[in-house]
Amino acid sequence: MPAWTHARGRNSVRSKRLGQARSHRAVLPWRWVSMPTEVRGMIFDVDGVLEFQGRVCPGAVEAIDELRKRGIVLRFLTNSTLKSRRSCAEGLRKKGFQVFDGEVITASYATAVYLRELKPRSCWVMLEREGLEEFRDFQQDLEDPEYIVVGDNRSVFDFDHLNKALRLLRNGAKLIGMQSELTDTSLGEPELNVGSWAGMLERAAGLTAVYIGKPSPYVFDLTMKTMGLDKSEVVMVGDRVSTDVKGAKGYGVRSALLMNGEFDERELDGSIEPDFLLESVADVLEVLE
């Protein structure tokens, strides 16, 4: 039986708490008096949680629909830099998810917000595809940028461009990494991820970069500010300890780790424990129990 079916009794209880229903006192009345901190918002990772290797994760669409019905505030937080908020939301909608552009936070969007706060004179944004939409307000300068901002610029990460970036950094440019993950295995075989390129420049130039995406507290703070909830009311749902669980813990929100997608048992070494361990996203409503 899917989780959202047997969790309906809980829905009645929540409605009662909100004063919207009065006739369910017979349903699980003990919950009414012993309610722990209520989960009112959830932040979902995208890759490995809602979709994986181009396919929708079983039960994900239904789970999101049910959470919406219950009035749970939803956000979708991905370390993708290639996608913009618009393209990420659009991709999810095409797969059947009810997702709005404004609910999505990509690492590229979060980095653009951070950069806007810095009011840079100029920057070199190393990124391609739709993620670049987030940076359209910025003056791109490959000759004398104040900031070099590294995202997934796979077609440009070659000897000439990386050496050019290295020299600019040694001449005073500052370095921002859109996220710090070293590898990406979401397509099966491991691939170099943004953190590898930014980390290489960081070491070669002898400086410290600022990283924005998960597990950085910046991106959790940015996400939370739009939810109108307290940290104690929110759960991060992800498939990786090193980004989703670590980031959530560091920021002070609870986390639910899914044992699918990019889940790697070796990451569960006892150093960071999720609050919930779920077999699949279809079980996510159990977090509300």
Q: Which is nearer to Mg ion, 48 or 91 (CB)?
A: 48
Q: Does 47 bind Mg ion (CB under 5 A)?
A: yes
Residue 23 CB, shortest distance to Mg ion, in Å, is 41
One-letter amino acid identity for 231? Answer: K
Contact residue for Mg ion among 131, 239, 248, 282 (CB under 5 A):
239
User: Which part of the chain contacts Mg ion (CB under 5 A), choosing from 149-157, 163-171, 235-243, 250-258?
Assistant: 235-243
Report residue 34 as tokens.
């012993």
Report residue 88 as tokens.
């990420």
Please tell me the count of residues contacting Mg ion according to CB under 5 A.
Answer: 4
Cis peptide before 215 (omega within 30 of 0): yes
Residue 7 CB, shortest distance to Mg ion, in Å, is 24
User: Which part of the chain contacts Mg ion (CB under 5 A), choosing from 54-62, 159-167, 238-246, 251-259?
Assistant: 238-246
Residue 163 CB, shortest distance to Mg ion, in Å, is 32
User: Which part of the chain contacts Mg ion (CB under 5 A), choosing from 24-32, 48-56, 245-253, 269-277?
Assistant: 48-56
Q: Which is nearer to Mg ion, 45 or 233 (CB)?
A: 45
Pairing of strands 51-52, 55-56: antiparallel
What is the rounded distance in angstroms from the CA atom of residue 240 to the CA atom of residue 130?
25
* φ and ψ at residue 177, rounded to 5 degrees: -100, 130
User: Which part of the chain contacts Mg ion (CB under 5 A), choosing from 22-30, 145-153, 165-173, 237-245?
Assistant: 237-245
Report residue 272 as tokens.
């960071």
Asked if residues 134 and 109 have their Cβ atoms less than 8 Å apart, the reply is yes
Contact residue for Mg ion among 3, 14, 48, 179 (CB under 5 A):
48
Q: Which is nearer to Mg ion, 45 or 134 (CB)?
A: 45
Contact residue for Mg ion among 4, 45, 150, 223 (CB under 5 A):
45
Residue 86 CB, shortest distance to Mg ion, in Å, is 20
The secondary structure element, H or E, covering residue 205 is: helix 194-205
Farthest CA pair distance, the chain: 71
Residue 183 CB, shortest distance to Mg ion, in Å, is 12
Q: Which is nearer to Mg ion, 47 or 202 (CB)?
A: 47
The owner of tokens 């949680």 is 49
Phi-psi region of 48 (alpha: psi -120 to 50; beta: other; left: phi over 0): left
What is the rounded distance in angstroms from the CA atom of residue 243 to the CA atom of residue 46?
12
Residue nearest to Mg ion (CB): 48
How many angstroms separate the Cα of 24 from the Cα of each of 29, 33, 120? 8, 14, 56
User: Which part of the chain contacts Mg ion (CB under 5 A), choosing from 37-45, 81-89, 161-169, 246-254?
Assistant: 37-45
Interface with Mg ion (CB under 5 A):
45, 47-48, 239
